[in-house]
Amino acid sequence: MKIVVTGASGGLGSGVCRLLTEQGHEVIAIDLVDRGDLPVKVHVMNLLDRPAVDRVIVGIDAVAHLGNHTDFIPPDPQMILGENTAMNMNVFQAAINAGAKRIVFASSIQVVASVPRLPGDDPDAPPPPLPMDGDTPAKPTNPYALSKQLAEVMLEYFSKLYGVGCVSVRFPWMAPMERFREVPAKLAGDLRWARRLAFSFMSYLDGARLVAAILNAEKLGAGSGARIYLPASTGNFLNMPAGELIHRFMAGVPLRRPIDQITSVVDISRITAETGWTPRDNQIVS
């Protein structure tokens, strides 16, 4: 397939470019900045530049749209919401015009469990009912999270109107695994933000493997509708069994099944069934 990857120079996008190239796909990489260690040329452009996007996204089979502002930083509501939404519309419409039959979008767990960023936010807000999955209802509480939810709605629209297979992936906090080794010590002073995300995480490499698996899954092509996935490692920041983690730090959070049946705070069973993907990086080792 001929696949566009936006955000190609980032931690997730660079891994996606490498995997897809290794699998024999033709990759068109787009990012604001270049890097010299990718197997493909990076088209340096701003996704807010609609004519530039239209010039590069032509004659393609699929898009992995990973290029957005990555959080509510800086805390500028108009910029984060406006620019993310404009970038998303530019890429999605260009993909449709170019004949794409699949779109994968990097959404965020913050759609269902936003990290407090605005004045008046409750730093002790609990996570949603556990375990979370792609059916967990959206509840964005900052403009970044709202921009991601709007993109999910946009993809449902494009899927219904044009028959494109669309998957929004609500990624948890991602980083190289070596960075996660620093997390337990950092959490010692304040567990509240990590509790809000149910202590979930995922490595960039596992994220790249998931994007590639979605693009390669036959059942997720044209006519397959719009889906939402919420993936994560089967482990957690504190390296505890899920039941113990819930009992110690999330005792008041509603449970969607009995606690002795919860093996992870995020249920990835549907993702595995539909793509064959399972995470490999499941334990943080100091």
Would you say residue 215 lies in a domain?
A: yes
For residues 127 and 258, give the distance between their C-alpha atoms in angstroms, rounded to a whole number: 17
At residue 286, the pLDDT reads 61
pLDDT tens-digit profile of 41-73? 999 999 999 999 999 999 999 999 999 998 888
Residue 205 forms part of a structural domain: yes
Residue at 225 is within a domain: yes
In terms of Cβ atoms closer than 10 Å to its own Cβ (0-12, 13-18, 19+), residue 89 is: middle
In this structure, how many other beta carbons lie within 10 angstroms of the beta carbon of residue 117? 18
**Residue 143 resides in a domain:** yes
- Coil, helix or strand at residue 286: coil
What is the DSSP code string of 129-154?
SBSB-TTSPP---SHHHHHHHHHHHH
Number of domains comprising the chain: 1
pLDDT value of position 252: 92
Closest Cα to residue 198, out of 125, 261, 269?
Answer: 125
In a domain, 282, yes or no: no
**Which residue range forms the structural domain that includes residue 214?**
2-275
In the chain, which stretches have pLDDT less than 50?
none
Is position 286 within any domain?
A: no
Cα 144 to Cα 115: distance, rounded to the nearest angstrom: 10
Q: How far is CA 231 from the centre of its chain?
A: 8
C-beta of residue 134 within 8 angstroms of C-beta of residue 227: yes
Residue 283 lies in a domain: no
Q: What token pair was written down for 233?
A: 């490692």
Which pLDDT score is estimated for 95? 98
Q: Quote the pLDDT of residue 69.
A: 95
CATH number at residue 60: 3.40.50.720
The confidence score (pLDDT) of residue 30 equals 98
Over residues 209-247, the pLDDT tens digits come to 999 999 999 999 999 999 999 999 999 988 899 999 999
Residue 189 domain flag: yes
